[in-house]
Amino acid sequence: MTVILSPAAVQDIAELRQLYFDVYGHGYPVPLGSDPAVMRRLITEGTAHWLTARDESGHLVGSAVVQTDPAGRIGKLVGLAVHPGHRGGGLASRLTGAVCDEAFGTGALDSMYATVRVVTEGPQHVVVRNGFRPLGLMPNAVEVEGCESLALFARYADGVLERRAPVERVPERLAGLLSAASAGIGVDYAQTGHVAPSPPPRPQGGAEPIELIAAPAFVRRRFLERFPDAGDRFFPLHSPNAVLVAADGGFEAYADLDPVAGSCALVAVHPRPAAVSGALEALMTAVTRAGADYAEALLPLADTEALEVFLASGFVPSAVYPAMRRVRDRLHDYVVLSRTSRQIDFRTTAVSPLLQPYLRAYLSAWTATYLPRHEVSR
């Protein structure tokens, strides 16, 4: 069957919403498949690449989007959808390849990432066939059809990985994740040393030490005041809509809170990430009460102090993103740490062979975090 790919237009929005409903029902947690205002903005503002697929009768049967962060030179593959009646013919792979090639063809991106559902292996194979490499596994990351885990993949422009800045040492609990990345991505972490874990930070006193302010316009203004330098606001394609404040004013943690998806991204902490030491337990309680069972933090792999604070407070290393951020002529590695308040259940997770090393690394790190040493040694 002949299928024609073309850029999405504003007049396609109604059909696109119907397509996402046909594919995901009411469970799709991304606004680009349901919110007409967000869809119009993506189509018209020029920072996204959006391709649609129509069959020979003119029916819209597929969609794929690459959102970009021009300042960060990074993109994200989102919204891949193929109508149930047109699956099995390679359309998902064709759409993915076309929209990614278009985005990289501008020369404005160093890398592009995708968070892939792992309810089946199919989506994992689609991105791998189009040049994406596995970076990690994030359990309980999103609410779609129940609580689901996601896998992180990335595709790089030519020569990007060769310009990585070396990392001298990392916390010992990251060793398994970096070993998986060395095999899965081909990045050599053999020369990166390990630091023994520090004692857990003492919890701060007070019954309710964290206040959550969910006022998006105010939070964004405050965020820009606290971080006037764009170089201090690195969390691509996330904008904070809430701030978690210590009662004593010791820190402000800016978050992209999404109760629909049941997730929270900790975008930045003022004055520095390690300032949340001793308060992360209370912070997670506030996040959970706000409707997010999953939280993640994106930290520089070289920021040992911040990494140790989060690791000592129950966050688990989930994914590593080599060469994620360009600073002048070098590219720097980042790591995703995550924490979930729900029981993790991998029985319905389809983890492809490429992701198996990351699953083992996560399980090892989770065990070291949450099981007493005498239980592990039995």
The per-residue pLDDT for 195 is 87
The per-residue pLDDT for 13 is 97
Given a cut of 80, is residue 210 above it in pLDDT? yes
Classify the phi-psi angles of 249: left when phi > 0, otherwise alpha if psi is within -120 to 50, otherwise beta: left
Given a cut of 70, is residue 208 above it in pLDDT? no
Q: Mean of the pLDDT values across residues 80-91?
A: 92
321 vs 89 pLDDT, higher one: 321
Q: Tabulate helix, strand, coil % of the chain (nearest 5).
A: 35, 35, 35
Please, which pLDDT band fits residue 205 given cuts at 50, 70 and 90? very low
* Mean pLDDT, rounded, of the chain: 92
The CA distance from 131 to 128, in Å, is 5
pLDDT per residue as tens digits for the range 355-371: 999 999 999 999 999 98
Token pair listed for 330: 């070098």
The per-residue pLDDT for 223 is 97
pLDDT per residue as tens digits for the range 319-339: 999 999 999 999 999 999 999
The per-residue pLDDT for 207 is 43
Cα distance from N-terminal residue to C-terminal residue, the chain: 59
The CA distance from 306 to 253, in Å, is 13
184 vs 253 pLDDT, higher one: 253
The CA distance from 366 to 193, in Å, is 21
